[in-house]
Structure 1
Amino acid sequence: MWVKALQVIPHVERDEWERLDVISKWLISTRAAVLIMTFISAAIAGLLALRAGEFNLVRWLMLVIGLIFAHATNNLLNDLTDYSRGVDTDNYYRTQYGPQPLEQGLWSRKTHLLYAAVTGLIALAAGAYLVAVSGILALWLLLAGAIFVLFYTYPLKYIGLGELAVLLVWGPLMIGGGYYVITGQWDWYVALASLAYALGPTTVIFGKHIDKLQQDKEKGIRTLPVILGETRSRYVVLGMIALQYLSVITLVAVGYFSPVMLIVLLAWYYLPPVIRVFSQPRPTEKPQDARLAAGWPLYFVAAAFYQNRSYGLLLLVGLILQLFIR
């Protein structure tokens, strides 16, 4: 189950849930399959620090632990907030693509709070260490991260700012801030270059919000796709995907990246099905195509995640190859 939960968000029935160990329940309830996006941001920060000759293994490990557990805490608090506000009732989208332990009565609010508290304290402990060794700017970065963790679900997501928050968090905050706590130096070039990856997680959250656009609209959750409408939102995602590749090409052209970074263009192999998905309205029923139906009712978000994972891993390969060439 540990391996499965790191790859997909598994469906489990009550009797199976009750037989699971603590770690399996934590992995499922935190939607651990999506934590790879956070690990990639931390890995990019580490590789850029290594390129600058300022890598510190202990600080990087604390960064990885802090970011992953902060993201996991955010997912737990998302479910708690939505459950408390009654958002996940009536077979809402969240309970269809994976277990929502509170809504489905798999555990109590007290247990949920315990998992969230322990997870959050681990993230906070890692962050406190980084503040102690890095100084006041690290404290401000920690506080900014805490604000996004606590207030993403409400009110940011409700007023069309959730998607912008994801862009800032997975880019300048995680990668730019991560680079700072590893090296002790803030670098605006790193912060700007971080957007080449941060656009990917933003497409994923956009895809998720397009998938549940109608349900969110009915519940008064004004995500950016609700404000823009499905058609505009689908083309915004395609535009962001194009910007991911254009940003790497630009960073190579200006000399910030080595030409070996153009290896990310190999991810174009995975693009045609993603473009087809986002070029058409969301189907009203489960598609016949087994590939598109595999994660139903996940549809746009599954395609965006598929593209981002391919792009992100190739981006890491390029950064590693840069080091060997240097």
Structure 2
Amino acid sequence: MDMRSPGAKSPYRIFSRGEWAKLRADTPMTLSEAEVEQLRSVDDPVDLREVEQIYLPISRLLALYVEATQGLYNATRAFLNTNGAKVPYIIGIGGSVAVGKSTTARLLQALLARWPNTPKVDLVTTDGFLLPNAVLEEEGLMQRKGFPESYDLPALLGFMSDIKAGKRRVSAPVYSHLTYDVVPGGEVVVDRPDILILEGLNVLQAGTARSGKAMPFVSDFFDFSVYIDAEEALIHDWYVHRFLHLRETAFRDPQSYFQRYAALPASDALQLAEGLWDRINLPNLRDNILPTRGRASLVLRKAADHRVEEVALRKL
């Protein structure tokens, strides 16, 4: 079902860019243009106007949701006469490669942290839960990197369970996009934030253990979720353009896993990018990522200029 089609059967309420922008109400702008530029990813044209029209209303909605959830938690605690640990509000952000998940996550983290009650907002990416390259190579999964089976799902579910239980100092592994691998011994520590943002390709997907047994969904732990959406052809163009841009910049770093591609002739680099898209990223999008779109609380639909043209909010 196309969530953009109006009608009583749609689980979403659809907003044009202009309609959504009005929902900012009197929410103050707390980021500068320079800060937005620092937070956006390579080749992502998001600017202050985009933040005002799209991300400020989202932060306002989330602030209201967090407040309501905290009120419900306090009411339950009072009813049970308990003093349970603080439980973070968890936001999941998913979507294909090159659609702007990282930019969205960083912008929302910055905006939410600057609300008047100054909540503590942490951000973790699921990249750290990818199996190390050595394991992927051993199991013949390097060409499936980013697919559900390439993640240490039990570790990710354990991390989410500990976070939702309100445990102190829960650690998550760290991933390096420079070396294209999990950092040995690296970790980021999450210590009871008010809000945790989890960003990744397959965060909305059902879970299956490597043994083949059914497992809980990562999204079972989410209080709210965002899916970044765009036409397949647009994502393809953004991915290829980003790859060619990185070939001229980050790939030239001697420490880069992709350093060997930096010296490729332009035609060969383009062919390589197209091959990676066709073999890995397109099948992952079609088979694993796009089917999860309908599970999101909020869907941001992007146009050719990479800006959000439509917002779909799940009806309560």
Per the normalisation by structure 1, the TM-score is 0.31
Tell which has more relative contact order, 1 or 2 (C-alpha 8 A, sep 6+): 2
Q: Which structure has the highest helix share of the two?
A: 1
Per the normalisation by structure 2, the TM-score is 0.31
